Chains A and B, each alone.
Chain A
Amino acid sequence: MNESVLIALEVYLVGFCISILIAALIKGMHAVLQHVNKKKQPEETKESEVSA
């Protein structure tokens, strides 16, 4: 019984760490992509102004 409790806790702990890691990856990726998109937007508006 004790061993199975330890296994369950181990599974949960590893699962929890991986889930939080994935959440952090998502947050990081989201931030980077939004930063890139923001940078792109002024450049695109500049280009459209020039072509106009």
Chain B
Amino acid sequence: MNLLNLFQGIATLFYQEPKIAIARVVLIFLGILLVYLGKKGTLEPLIMVPMGFGMLAINAGVLFMSATQTGNIFIDPMMSDTDGLMNIMQIDFLQPIYTLTFSNGLIACIVFMGIGVLADVGNVLRFPFTSMLIAMFAELGTIATFPIAHAMGLSYGEAAAISIVGGADGPMVLFTSLMLAKDLFVPITIVAYLYLSLTYGGYPFLIRLLVPKELRGIVVKTSKKNDVSNGEKVAFDLIACTALCLLFPVAAPLFLSFFLGNAIKEVGIIKYTEMIENTFLYWATFFLGLLLGVLCEASTILNPKILILLILGMLALLLSGIGGIIGGYVVYLINRKQFNPAIGIAGVSCVPTTAKVAQKEVQHVNKKAIILQYAMGANICGVITTAILTGIYITLIPMLSK
């Protein structure tokens, strides 16, 4: 008896093609690195720790399914046949979660509902035009990356899915790639989450590079009184949800999740708010991380398009950051130089990270400058504009393909 066959994770390394075996080893180490960076705080630990463990376990735990076939007992993302799916759901322990929550976008919607609970739309109601204008400028990456991606050989659907990374909203990228680029949704979503974690580190440098110190210290007028009532916020949720669902029914689950989450908080249903914030959101984030890790199987990741996606994801986020700051300058000029252009970066949604990044950078220069009201307004509008562009892409692209 060959002793190696007793330890199939190792035996399969010698049986598989060398490039797959090498990729498996690399991914095991990458998984360990992600957990380390998550623990250190360089990357978002809520996503990176389960993702890193999932990545290393799926690539280490490969076994012989038959004499000639290797596989795993975690998940089979490519299974679509109903009978096969029912069988596999009884064997692969993560398959039920994947089939019933991940591949239909439910997990993305739950995360989005959580974002809705955390978001305060009061600042959007205070400064609607300023916030929307900045947010639309901060969609530069979502728009400009599309033709570049197409020129680099991606289909319209794939190009739209990777462009949405510029919106800096993880659930939205997942939702778009599931709708438009099902074959590439694993690498696209992984690229998105990796880069979104790096946003915390990269954007401060972009602000320092593009906004001179004297402009970064500008104090903006803020509203001290609580002039937006809960009723107004709920009315906004109702109007915006109805209007956007009427315009883009394909993205209606996303709109419903976000505005329902926000309305639940504003209505004051504490039990639901706590349930979504403490249970649903953490449950969804945990399984999102774990499933993304488990989907990083060597054969899936060895897609020749992955390098293109890595470049385009970075480009999309960079362009969106630049666009946001251009938006900040436009509002600065419209307001006769009484506006802080650094607020522009908050238009890149990534709630509430980019708003915090802007506030931190401004306070480095001027300790008295409080810009958080404007920054949070632009931040929430960033979520709304990304959802609008997602809605347009997933409505338009299938029409073009026909």
Contacts and interface: CB of A to CB of B under 8 A. Distances in A.
Interface string A1-29: 10011011111101110111111111101
Contact of B384 (A7, A10, A22): A22
B236 interface: yes
Contact of A15 (B125, B150, B232, B388): B388
A23 B377 CA distance: 12
Interface of A: 1, 4-5, 7-12, 14-16, 18-27, 29-30, 33, 37
Shortest 9 CB-CB contacts between residues of A and residues of B:
A4-B150, A4-B147, A23-B128, A26-B128, A23-B132, A8-B146, A5-B147, A12-B143, A19-B132
Contacts of A30: 125, 128, 228, 232
Contact of B235 (A8, A16, A29): A29
Contact of A20 (B132, B229, B232, B236): B132
Nearest to B148: A4
Given A11-B389, A11-B396, A33-B231, A26 B124 contact: yes
A8 B396 CA distance: 11
Given A26-B124, A33-B235, A11 B392 contact: yes
Interface in B207-261: 228-229, 231-232, 235-236, 239-240, 243-244, 247
Contacts of A16: 136
B125 A14 contact: no
Given A4-B156, A8-B146, A23-B129, A14 B136 contact: no
Most buried by A among B131, B143, B232: B143
B150 A1 contact: yes
A10 to B, nearest CB: 8
30 contacts: A4-B150, A4-B151, A7-B147, A8-B144, A11-B146, A11-B393, A12-B139, A14-B392, A15-B139, A18-B244, A18-B247, A19-B135, A19-B384, A19-B385, A19-B388, A22-B128, A22-B244, A23-B128, A24-B128, A25-B239, A25-B243, A26-B125, A26-B240, A27-B129, A29-B236, A29-B239, A30-B128, A33-B229, A33-B232, A33-B235
B159 interface: yes
Contacts of B389: 11-12, 15
A45 to B, nearest CB: 18
A30 to B, nearest CB: 6
A19 B243 CA distance: 11
Contacts of B3: none
Interface residues on B, range: 35 or more
Interface in B138-194: 139, 143-144, 146-147, 150-151, 156, 159
B232 A19 contact: no
A24 B228 CA distance: 16
A23 B144 CA distance: 24
B381 to A, nearest CB: 8
Contacts of A11: 143, 146, 389, 392-393, 396
B135 A1 contact: no
Contacts of A25: 239-240, 243
Contacts of A24: 128
Given A1-B150, A4-B150, A20-B132, A29 B232 contact: yes
B1 interface: no
Contact of A22 (B231, B243, B400): B243
Contacts of A27: 128-129
A23 B243 CA distance: 12
